[in-house]
Chains A and B, each alone.
Chain A
Amino acid sequence: MTNAHAPETPVGADRGTVAASAPVAGSEPILLTQARSQWWDVWDQFRNHKGAMAGAAVFLLIVLVVVFGPYAWPFDPTETNIRSRNQGMSLTHPLGTDQLGRDVFARMIQGGRVSLAVGMTAMALSLVLGTLIGVLAGYFRRLDGPLMRLTDLFLALPLLPLLLVMVLLFREPLTAAFGIETGIFILIVSAIGITSWMQTARIVRGDVLALKEREFVLAARSIGTPARRIVTRHVLPNVLSPIMVSATLGIATAIITESALSFLGLGFPPDFPTWGRLLNDGVPYLELYPGRAFWPGLAISLVVLSINYVGDGLRDALDPRIRGR
């Protein structure tokens, strides 16, 4: 058990955690006719952002490979083949094979499906939670105290025992209801989600506190705009950039936390590869077969980088002051 790589301290882990932006990434506003021109503008602006387009292309490519790869690739990620273990790169095995003779590329594809799904979902969950709580706490003074104490509580909870309790309480019912893989997926995603929203909530609240006193919000309030509209029209768009940063950092954190969980036996079954786990497994072989740690490391970095550029582009595109410049 010993070389358990735990996630960074329960407190320390969440220095810059969290989550994707449901309000931003959403495509549904395009359906609204009256908003159509505005989202068209956003798209125009986004299209001109080279970094964002490159990021989106890379990200889409990774998603495509990961989603459709298993149908096109002849090797099974869990199939061991002792005769061809520890092979280097070759035409049959472009990324080589591991110590049990499993095809590394197949494992990367399989791992990517899990890691991306976990990363995106957990990030979305923690972002929604964090933004919601942050906005409510910052905007409505009466809610501020209780919500922030709740945040303190979650920041202070030790992550590992919390996870042990969750696994103990919910693993059996969830696997019974959804099957082993989906059940554990739900468990892990919610575990990461509910333990990583606090940073976003704090930051969003801080920004909202400042925004609330800004002239345009005061003006909106003085003409009797209901709070819900002020929040959605005026406050949310202005806190997008810290949310975007949280989102990009959050994907990486979620992917890495998942690897730590799997490693501790709290996650997916051991024969179920994920990028974080592949990276972890590759570390002891760093000098012998550097590829084993390098490929998953590269994949995680690429995803984080591309999402970061997309986030940059989105933020610029959504900012009316930059748009059209």
Chain B
Amino acid sequence: MLTFTFRRLLYAIPTLLFISLVIFLLLDLAPGDPMAQMPLTVPDEVKARMREALGLGEPIHIRYWKWLVQFFWVEPLHMLDSLLGTGFAEGSQRILSWQTRSPVVDIVMQRMPQTLWVVGTAYVVAILIAIPVGIYSAYRQYSLFDQAGTFVTMVGFSVPPFFSGVLVIIIFASQLGWFPSIYDTRLVVDSWSDFGLQVRQMFLPVMVLALQITSQLSRFMRASMLDNLNQDYVRTARAKGLREKTVVLVHVLRNSMIPVVTVIALGVPSIFGGAIITEQVFKVNGIGQLLITAIQGNDLPMVQTLTFIFAVLIVLFNLIADVLYGILDPRIRYD
């Protein structure tokens, strides 16, 4: 198991390098212009000079090499510097965003808290709701609870957040005035009243996001439980006289969790990726909003760095999912 993990980690390095190259080429091939958002009143020569200043004139392999060096050498050094107060990275060029002309990594770190708060909370809430709902729906298949659950989750899934988000804003912010419709990223939680504010401003986006995630997870949970409930070992366990609770919550649940764990683990990178639409509707301005504004503004260094960070997380959590498989299901052999 350990060797398997190590080998996979080693394999991950060339994979990630390859991914970074593909992303780079893709972004470079895609049509678009960082100057597109400038007003048309700006003359073409000025735009051309601004592009020069961004380094767009250089050939692609040089830009890629520069990015690699900056991402894998300068940025880690810089992080070390800010931790230890040393000066290793002094004078070296960091990855600069084209839109803001400032280091990309600093902005990403600035955006992390709100994304983790909102999307992370929604994910946890969704897991906590989806698993029991999935279990009970499967156990009492076609009961009223199951039917209602199916209905709600399917509607929840088929309604996109640009609709449900605006709907809850109209109901809870405009009409009832219970919750704010705009998330204040400047809020620092250092007292109970601030915590109350934080909960209030998180409530609507978390609700919208959690509804979506719950819908998906509970469907997978239910399907997986249904598969296992009819297995022979369940009949054996019941025949042995085990209590129903033990049969369902220990035997069946453990086996049903295998595919669900994959889905959960694979979803974790998306917590860091944020949720573009929900963040936009509630003005949470987290990573998702950062990515979409960078894409719209053709801020290639920002898009490249963000997507590569996602790629690292995805590869990492794929590995974690595989390891979890092995732990949950001893029959799976990795060697």
Dominant SS among interface residues on chain A? helix
Smallest Cβ-Cβ distance to B271: which chain A residue: A12
Dominant SS among interface residues on chain B? helix
| A11, B219: Cβ atoms closer than 8 Å | no
- Quick check: which of B48-56, B83-91, B260-268 contacts chain A, the rest being far away? B260-268
| A210, B329: Cβ atoms closer than 8 Å | yes
Near A by CB (< 8 A), chain B positions 281-335 give 288, 291-292, 295-296, 303, 307-308, 310-311, 313-315, 318, 321, 325, 329, 331-333
Query: Which of A9, A51, A151, A279 gathers most chain B CB within 10 Å?
Result: A9
Let me know if B19 is at the binding interface, CB within 8 A: yes
Contacts of B166 in A (CB 8 A): 283, 286
| A9, B273: Cβ atoms closer than 8 Å | yes
Complex Cα–Cα for A157 and B18 (A): 12
| B213, A202: Cβ atoms closer than 8 Å | no
- Quick check: which of A98-106, A181-189, A237-245 contacts chain B, the rest being far away? A237-245
Among the listed A203, A209, A249, which residue makes an inter-chain contact with B157, where contact means beta carbons less than 8 Å apart? A249
Let me know if A153 is at the binding interface, CB within 8 A: yes
| A249, B216: Cβ atoms closer than 8 Å | yes
Let me know if A262 is at the binding interface, CB within 8 A: no
Complex Cα–Cα for A289 and B91 (A): 59
Among the listed A8, A153, A161, A206, which residue makes an inter-chain contact with B295, where contact means beta carbons less than 8 Å apart? A161
- Quick check: which of A28-36, A219-227, A299-307 contacts chain B, the rest being far away? A299-307
Complex Cα–Cα for A256 and B151 (A): 18
Complex Cα–Cα for A203 and B267 (A): 12
| B303, A242: Cβ atoms closer than 8 Å | no
| A165, B220: Cβ atoms closer than 8 Å | no
Given known contacts A158-B295, A210-B331, A279 and B163 CB-to-CB distance under 8 angstroms: yes
| B270, A153: Cβ atoms closer than 8 Å | no
A interface residue count range (under 10 / 10 to 19 / 20 to 34 / 35 or more): 35 or more
Near B by CB (< 8 A), chain A positions 34-51 give 51
Let me know if A321 is at the binding interface, CB within 8 A: yes
| A214, B331: Cβ atoms closer than 8 Å | yes
Complex Cα–Cα for A210 and B29 (A): 41
Complex Cα–Cα for A158 and B298 (A): 13
Residue interface bits A151-176, CB-to-B below 8 A is 1, else 0: 11101111011101100100000000
Let me know if A117 is at the binding interface, CB within 8 A: no
Contacts of A4 in B (CB 8 A): 292, 296
Given known contacts A249-B219, A304-B157, A152 and B213 CB-to-CB distance under 8 angstroms: no
Q: How many A-B residue pairs have CB under 8 A?
A: 208
Let me know if B68 is at the binding interface, CB within 8 A: no
Let me know if B64 is at the binding interface, CB within 8 A: no
Complex Cα–Cα for A44 and B106 (A): 62
Residue interface bits A283-325, CB-to-B below 8 A is 1, else 0: 1001100000100010011011100110000010001011000
| A283, B163: Cβ atoms closer than 8 Å | yes
Let me know if A69 is at the binding interface, CB within 8 A: no
Contacts of B147 in A (CB 8 A): 51
- Smallest distance from the beta carbon of A205 to chain B beta carbons, Å? 9
- Smallest distance from the beta carbon of A165 to chain B beta carbons, Å? 5
- Smallest distance from the beta carbon of A158 to chain B beta carbons, Å? 5
Among the listed B15, B155, B224, B266, which residue makes an inter-chain contact with A305, where contact means beta carbons less than 8 Å apart? B155
Near A by CB (< 8 A), chain B positions 142-167 give 142, 147, 150-151, 154-155, 157-163, 166-167
User: What residues of chain B have their CB less than 8 Å away from a CB belonging to chain A?
Assistant: 11, 15, 18-19, 22-23, 26-27, 29-32, 142, 147, 150-151, 154-155, 157-163, 166-167, 170, 213, 216-217, 219-220, 223-224, 226-227, 230, 258-259, 262-263, 266-267, 269-270, 273-277, 280, 288, 291-292, 295-296, 303, 307-308, 310-311, 313-315, 318, 321, 325, 329, 331-333
Closest 9 CB pairs of A and B: A12-B270, A156-B311, A16-B216, A9-B273, A213-B331, A304-B158, A164-B30, A252-B158, A161-B30
